[in-house]
Amino acid sequence: MTFHKQGIPSLIITLVFIAILNGLIYFFLNDYTTVKVLGYALSAFLLITILQFFRSPSRDFKAREGDIISPADGTVVVIEEVEETEYFKDKRLQVSVFMSPINVHLNRYPINGLLKYYKYHPGLYLVAWHPKSSTENERTTIVVENEKGQSVLYRQIAGAMARRIVFFGKEGEQVKQTDECGFIKFGSRVDLLLPLDAKLNVKLNEKVKGGITTIAKF
């Protein structure tokens, strides 16, 4: 288990806030035991929250040809056929993974291949399980195509708490399945848009692990 570098700015801000808070309590409210206890409790809660949110657990990542791996930890909240209007412009099988604030928020590539498309979309901050969050929230769209010409489109979608989406890749580069591809801060969702003939390997409300769980097979 390590602390991801994307969390360093948040950790610094949290530590500065904790230092100021406890300094003020020490100098001005030191005689009030209840205030001191509340201050310590709040400090511990904030620190633990940041450390767990930006954790990057050690896992046995293995690339599996033909498999489409979950890009994120979370719960499968949507499995349905939809009309994809941005890139493929045809019908696709959508599988959505909701990440709660206690999930790991590091994202990973679902397949090996060429990063053919990337686009950032500014937008709203509807709750991540809202049906319109896929098309109206702040989001990124990524398409990876393998050497057989099979493609997966997936979206990093901001939620009500998520205010920053980070994507590490660039169009035209070769990417590896399970490698880190991005980070979504503080509650979010990832949508996968798969070929209609993909063989699903998950069901609704199933818990999945990023870089580990097979969502479907080509």
Answer yes or no: 188 catalytic: yes
Q: In a 3-state reduction of DSSP, which class is residue 22?
A: helix
Radius of gyration of the chain (CA): 20
CA distance 216 to 193: 11
How far from the centroid of its chain's Cα atoms is residue 196's Cα?
Answer: 24
Q: Which of 81, 75, 187, 82 lies closest to 126 in space, CA to CA?
A: 187
The DSSP H or E segment spanning 53 is helix 33-53
Task: Write out the catalytic residue numbers.
Answer: 188
